[in-house]
Amino acid sequence: MFDLHDREWKPFFLTELFPTIQRGKRFKSGDHIPGKMPYVSSSALQNGVDDFVANQDNVRIFSDCLSLANSGSVGACFYEPFAFVASDHITHLKNERLNRYHYLFIASIANRLSQKYNFNREINDNRISREKIMLPVDAHGDPDYDFMESYIREREQDLIERYSHFVKKKMQIENLEPEKAISWKAFYLISEKMFYIDAVKTFRGTSGLDHSGLYDVTGATSENNGNVGFLSGEAQRLLCKKNCICLIKTGQGSVGEAVYKGNDFIPSNNVCVVRSSWLNEYNGLFIVAEINRQAGRYSYGYIRNKKRIAREKLMLPADSCGNPDYAFMEQCGKQIMLRLYQQYLDGMHTQTDRGTRKRAGR
């Protein structure tokens, strides 16, 4: 295993490492045209991706580079392997000689800049020009790019092997049955055969949320499986048990949707927690998909409250007795998960293969 501690390290100016350093361009949310190109802003989540747009004019588009947040989540640094529209809240750092492994190594070091900055002390162009980061060096005192690449490749391969082992265990799902003809029936979401509402303690507001806490806070979004941040310390008293569904009551773009929670979490006051004795990971994902298909009945101005939840119905597979066909829903969930596990595994190998095609010309 390559060791970071047996290397000599030396500080380098960012301007030495990246010949091209340029800030993104002001791009108001009202000017966003929905599309497929990532819009990267000052977020510490999802590689900084804040939206997907179709705009091509009056924007700055970068690719295959690092993005560094100037404000917001100041100092958050990501490798962006795709083309993206850049907000004026980020600066892109590019060196044509670097490949994804070099970028990933440097991004992990550059992220430490966040310790020097905060909401009141942003990273402006002058500060970037004076900023240094520590990197391992070769016998000539230059950045040791060969070591950086080998180090990240080794860690990447270790993660792939661990995930492969995890997927193989997950793919040993028993009792998979062939698809069958089914009948569908409407069921009240809150009923004896379906769910009951769990009267849980909730977290209100956004104060105290961060990205280094221990406990997942689930709120008014269906992205990131409902996660809106993390909490630590005394927040443990609000911890809610896993294996349930969170119905999103409000929130622009997500009201009316739901997420299945397979981990313990802290619910915000923007969700309603429902449970059932028959619920598990697989039929839970099936139910969530059906709930989300009908989310259009709600909007930001027509929120989901308990009275409306009590009137919600779902079209679900029914067995020969007219009850929800829990077994069939579980089978569907298993089939979906098997396909997703395999797709993700194939995608990781594809990404690794692409990384071998670009080498630094040194």
pLDDT class of 176 with cuts at 50, 70, 90: low
Evaluated on CA atoms 296, 274, 252, 43, the torsion sign reads negative
Closest CA to 225 of 292, 280, 159, 167: 292
Domain positions in the chain: 4-151, 183-335
Q: Does pLDDT of 206 surpass 80?
A: no
Q: pLDDT: is 215 or 340 the higher one?
A: 215
Q: Give the model confidence (pLDDT) of 236-295 as tens digits.
A: 899 999 999 999 998 777 899 999 999 999 999 999 999 999 999 999 999 999 999 989
Task: Assess contact for 288 and 226: CB atoms under 8 A.
Answer: no
Task: Assess contact for 146 and 140: CB atoms under 8 A.
Answer: no
Residue 65 — φ and ψ, nearest 5°? -160, 180
pTM score over 0.85: no
**Contacts (Cβ under 8 Å, ≥6 apart) of 301:** none
pLDDT number for residue 253: 74
DSSP class of 249: -
pLDDT class of 357 with cuts at 50, 70, 90: low
DSSP for 185-232? EEEESBSTTSBEE-----B-SSTT-BSS-SEEEE-S-SGGGGEEEEE-
Residue that has been written with the tokens 């690719």 in this structure? 63
For the CA atoms of 168, 174, 177, 178, the dihedral, rounded to the nearest 10 degrees, stands at 20
Asked, colleague to colleague, whether 4-151 and 183-335 share their fold, the answer is: yes
Query: How far from each other are the two terminal CA atoms of the chain, in whole angstroms?
Result: 24
Task: Assess contact for 66 and 80: CB atoms under 8 A.
Answer: yes
Closest CA to 282 of 216, 204, 338: 338
Q: pLDDT: is 317 or 166 the higher one?
A: 317
Q: pLDDT: is 251 or 315 the higher one?
A: 315
SS3 302: strand
SS3 313: strand
Domain 4-151 belongs to what architecture? Alpha-Beta Complex (3.90)
Mean pLDDT of the residues in the chain: 88
Task: Assess contact for 66 and 77: CB atoms under 8 A.
Answer: yes
Cα(99)–Cα(88) distance, rounded to whole angstroms? Answer: 25
Q: pLDDT: is 145 or 251 the higher one?
A: 145
pLDDT class of 340 with cuts at 50, 70, 90: confident
Topology of the domain covering 183-335:
Adenine-n6-DNA-methyltransferase TaqI; Chain A, domain 2 (3.90.220)
The backbone region for 226, taken as left when phi is positive above 0, alpha when psi lies in -120 to 50, beta otherwise, is left
**Contacts (Cβ under 8 Å, ≥6 apart) of 142:** none
Q: Does pLDDT of 361 surpass 50?
A: no
Q: pLDDT: is 319 or 213 the higher one?
A: 319
Q: Give me the mean pLDDT over the 43-56 stretch.
A: 88
Task: Assess contact for 190 and 310: CB atoms under 8 A.
Answer: yes
Residue 27 — φ and ψ, nearest 5°? -145, 95
pLDDT class of 40 with cuts at 50, 70, 90: very high
pLDDT class of 326 with cuts at 50, 70, 90: very high
Helix (H) or strand (E) holding 12: strand 9-13
pLDDT number for residue 362: 47
Cα(338)–Cα(174) distance, rounded to whole angstroms? Answer: 12
Q: Give me the mean pLDDT over the 82-96 stretch.
A: 95
- Nearest-Å Rg of the Cα atoms of the chain is 24
Residue that has been written with the tokens 């990273």 in this structure? 123
Closest CA to 207 of 276, 132, 268: 268
pLDDT class of 360 with cuts at 50, 70, 90: very low
Evaluated on CA atoms 184, 187, 192, 195, the torsion sign reads positive
Q: Give the model confidence (pLDDT) of 159-173 as tens digits.
A: 888 888 887 777 666
Residue that has been written with the tokens 């802290």 in this structure? 266
pLDDT number for residue 57: 92
Cα(225)–Cα(236) distance, rounded to whole angstroms? Answer: 20
Task: Assess contact for 141 and 88: CB atoms under 8 A.
Answer: no
pLDDT number for residue 121: 83
